[in-house]
Amino acid sequence: MALDYGEARIGIAFSDLLCMIANGYETYCRKDIDKDLDYLSTLASKQEVDEIVMGLPLNMDGTEGDRAVATKLFGEKLSKYSNLPVTYVDERLSSVEAEDILKQAHIKWQDRKKYIDKISATIILQTYLDSRS
């Protein structure tokens, strides 16, 4: 299971059973920390997830800024809540890549917000899966 964590939304993706192909699942609109943790933990349990991969929004120079710190804090809470390990993957430019995919699919710019986080989570997960092979 991969997450593209944001302040308002979280993109979610899952791999196939062979852990070779990432598939976008949904864009979850955040409520509050407790509801978010409960929702994601329950979803992970239903999907029989054994690891959570989170995109880490590093600065272009590779350093961690405020968003990376917030992502890690959420990841630590989610790991404790779900009893699952959380792995972080550099997500630099995943949103740009997701935007390009949506443009190529001729999705109107007004509608892209609905999909971009889910597509970003899919890119993050596929990057992770490819790095393991």
| pLDDT over threshold 90, residue 20 | yes
Q: Place 93 in a pLDDT band, splitting at 50, 70 and 90.
A: low
Q: What are the strands of the beta sheet with 52-56, ordered from one edge?
A: 22-29, 9-15, 2-5, 52-56, 86-90
* H or E stretch at 54: strand 52-56
Cα 97 from chain centre: 14
Contacts of 63 (CB under 8 A, 6+ apart): none
The region that residue 93 occupies, defined by phi over 0 for left and psi between -120 and 50 for alpha, beta otherwise, is left
Least-confidence region, from 42-51, 64-73, 98-107, 114-123: 98-107
Q: What per-residue confidence (pLDDT) applies to 99?
A: 67
Backbone angles phi, psi at 112, to 5 degrees: -65, -30
**Is-contact 24 15, C-beta < 8 A?**
no
Average of per-residue pLDDT values in the chain: 89
Tens digit of each residue's pLDDT (9 = 90 or more) over 36-76: 999 999 999 999 999 999 999 887 787 888 999 999 999 99
- Give the predicted TM-score (pTM) of the model: 0.87
Find out if CATH 1.10.580.10 is the number for domain 2-132.
no
Q: What per-residue confidence (pLDDT) applies to 85?
A: 98
